[in-house]
Each structure stands twice: as structure tokens, then as C-alpha cells.
């Protein structure tokens, strides 16, 4: 039976159903890619996930256009930017996908690989200018969304967060990608007195954990990561009520000069609303290898188990979904 809200606002019912369908898409990608865990083949990891996700998304009740995907059409045969996906019915949405967030993690059998998809109203997702691959980022949860400033020193942001949490800086934990480019950020965090959790890959999951009110293992995500991942993180944080701030980051002086010549503003701060302006956002992810956010795929003779998360911006609802997938009906579990 529909609630009063759903009875009189059918668009919300559509979004709710779409969110459940998105879980089936990420489950398909995770189940297929998970077979390649630890086998050292990044290309097959990615291909398995893309093939499964693209096949599954055909049945989703939406008219989607890929805004964040596997690249341009001449580089990616499927899930390329601009590709129309879904069954063509309403709603009309932008789609951001990362069939494997953490391809290297999965190929090496390391924790934290996810299959991810997000949707928002058509025209509401940010698409980085050509050639822009990285962004400087800071992400926090709802209680800290109005206190952070990506242009402020690290110590200032940590102090503001500690005050908002009514705690001390040395109570805080910052998550940072373990990269040489982050040596100065790591130094500043240590000098301020906060704790650090270094991760090898997967800053979408890190941003989500920093924004979750019921997950207190991480208080802030800092550092430079992929521009497409910034949009996916923003979609999740739109549902969680958190905040991400980003700035375009050139990798080299030559790239900086090219951005400047192309009129790209490297000082502009992109906030959550700039990356995903819609208030009608759905986000889904399924664990491929077990991590702090989600358990990975488990295979059995009778089938498999998956662990997923689904979020909606309208209600702020976060659902954790444990699914059992049987290869054949009537097979008895061991």
C-alpha cells in the first residue's frame, strides 16, 4: 500500500522504484567482476563489470544519458559519455557509473572495490571539461557542511570540525589516498594532531564514510582524486546531506598552461550543488571485495551473496541490502 506522500507525489514513487532497479545493476556488475578477484588482470576486471552493468541497465525503467562513464565513444564501446541507456521510459535522467571503483584493488584481491551507479534529473550532473581528470577534494558529513573551506589551511578545517563535533583535533580521523602528491597534506594533518587513515584507492567510498552520521571511523576526506569520482561522491553526499568541495587540479605545469589557455578556472570551488544540482538523486553501490563500507561478493556452489547500499535524496533514506542469488531454483544451501 502506498503512503500518502507516494499517492500524491508519483514522481517520488518512480524514484523509489528506480533506486531498487539500480541495485540490480550494481549487483550484476559485482557478481561478474568478482570472479576476477586477485587474478591480477585489470583489463578483464573492468571488461567483466562493464559488460554486466551495460546488459543489466538495459532493463531499467528510465531514459538515461551517461554523463560520467568509461570515456568517449571512440575509447569505450559501452557506457561511454553521451550513450543513452535504460528502456527509454521516463524518468529522463543523467547517469554516472563506475563499474569498478577500485579496479586495482579487485585485481590484487585488496579490500574496498565497489560497483557504483547514480542518477539525477536530466542536465543536473557536472561534466568536467575535456582533459580534466583530477580534482582537489574535501568531504564531510551534515554537521560539518557549513564549516569547511577548501581554500583554508588544513589545520583550520580540522579545528572547525573539532569544534562542530565538540571534540578535540586529536579525536578526528582524516582519510587520504596514499600518493606522493599528498605528502604535504599528510604533514599538515599530522602537525595539527589529527589521526590519518591512508587508503590505496577508492575515494568514493571514503567520501561516503566521511559523510555518514552513523559511521564515526572517518571525519573528513582530503586530497586529490579523479574528477568523475567527485561527481559520484557528490551524488551520494546529496543523499546523505554531507558536503564535498572540489577544485580542478592540473597534474603538470604544461597541463596548467593548457587549462589556462582554454579558459578553465582552476580557482573555482565546486560544491555539492555544483556537481549535482538536482534534488531527485538515487545512488547505489555493491561491494565486490569486502571493505569498511560493504562486504564483498561471496560465491557458493548454489549461488552467491552480495551486500549493497541504496540512497535517496528526497527522504535521506539509506538502505543496506543483503541479497542471496541462486543460480538454479531448488538448490539446497550447504
Known binding positions: 46, 70, 98, 101-103, 134, 179-181, 201-203, 226, 229
- The answer to whether 60 touches 86, Cβ cutoff 8 Å, is yes
Distance of CA 322 to the CA centre of its chain: 19
Task: Supply the angle between the helices 154-164 and 183-192 in degrees, to the nearest 10.
Answer: 50
DSSP code at position 214: T
Work out the end-to-end distance of the chain between its first and last CA atoms, rounded to an integer number of angstroms: 36
Give the annotated binding-site residues for substrate: 101-103, 134, 179-181, 201-203, 226
Of all helices (H) and strands (E), which one includes residue 68? strand 63-68
Of all helices (H) and strands (E), which one includes residue 118? strand 114-121
- The answer to whether 62 touches 18, Cβ cutoff 8 Å, is yes
Q: How many residues does the chain have?
A: 334
Closest CA to 288 of 118, 117, 106: 106
Of all helices (H) and strands (E), which one includes residue 71? none
- The answer to whether 90 touches 75, Cβ cutoff 8 Å, is no
Q: Please name the residue ranges forming H helices in 74-182.
A: 103-108, 154-164
Give the annotated binding-site residues for Mn(2+): 46, 70, 98, 101, 229
How far, in Å, CA of 292 to CA of 250, rounded? 31
**Residue 106: left (phi > 0), alpha (psi -120 to 50), or beta?**
alpha
Amino acid at each position: 500500500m502506498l503512503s500518502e506522500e507516494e499517492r500524491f507525489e508519483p514522481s517520488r514513487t518512480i524514484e523509489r522504484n528506480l533506486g531498487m532497479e539500480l541495485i540490480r545493476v550494481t549487483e550484476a556488475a559485482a557478481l561478474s567482476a568478482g570472479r576476477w578477484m586477485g587474478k591480477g588482470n585489470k583489463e578483464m576486471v573492468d571488461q567483466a563489470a562493464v559488460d554486466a552493468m551495460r546488459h543489466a541497465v538495459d532493463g531499467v525503467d528510465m531514459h538515461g544519458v551517461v554523463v560520467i562513464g568509461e570515456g568517449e565513444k571512440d575509447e569505450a564501446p559501452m557506457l561511454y559519455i553521451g550513450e543513452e541507456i535504460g528502456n527509454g521510459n521516463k524518468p529522463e535522467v543523467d547517469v554516472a557509473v563506475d563499474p569498478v571503483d577500485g579496479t586495482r584493488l579487485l585485481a590484487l584481491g585488496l579490500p574496498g572495490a565497489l560497483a557504483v551507479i547514480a542518477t539525477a534529473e536530466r542536465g543536473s550532473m557536472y561534466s568536467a571539461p575535456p582533459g580534466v581528470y583530477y580534482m582537489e577534494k574535501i568531504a564531510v558529513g551534515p554537521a560539518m557542511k557549513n564549516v569547511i573551506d577548501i581554500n583554508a589551511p588544513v589545520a583550520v578545517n580540522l579545528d572547525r570540525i573539532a569544534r562542530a563535533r565538540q571534540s578535540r583535533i586529536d579525536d578526528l580521523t582524516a582519510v587520504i589516498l596514499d600518493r606522493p602528491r599528498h605528502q604535504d597534506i599528510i604533514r599538515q594533518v599530522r602537525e595539527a594532531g589529527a589521526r590519518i587513515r591512508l587508503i590505496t584507492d577508492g575515494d568514493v567510498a571514503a567520501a561516503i564514510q566521511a559523510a555518514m552520521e552513523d559511521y564515526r571511523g572517518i571525519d573528513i576526506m582530503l586530497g586529490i582524486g579523479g574528477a568523475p569520482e567527485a561527481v559520484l561522491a557528490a551524488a551520494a553526499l546529496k543523499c546523505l546531506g554531507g558536503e564535498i568541495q572540489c577544485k580542478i587540479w592540473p597534474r603538470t605545469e604544461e597541463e596548467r598552461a593548457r587549462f589556462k589557455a582554454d579558459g578553465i578556472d582552476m580557482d573555482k570551488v565546486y560544491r555539492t550543488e555544483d556537481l549535482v544540482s538536482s534534488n531527485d538523486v538515487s545512488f547505489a553501490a555493491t561491494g565486490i571485495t569486502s571493505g569498511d563500507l560493504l562486504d564483498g561478493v561471496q560465491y557458493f556452489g548454489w549461488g552467491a551473496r552480495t551486500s549493497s547500499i541504496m540512497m535517496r535524496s528526497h527522504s535521506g533514506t539509506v538502505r543496506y541490502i543483503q541479497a542471496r542469488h541462486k543460480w538454479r531454483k531448488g538448490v539446497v544451501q550447504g
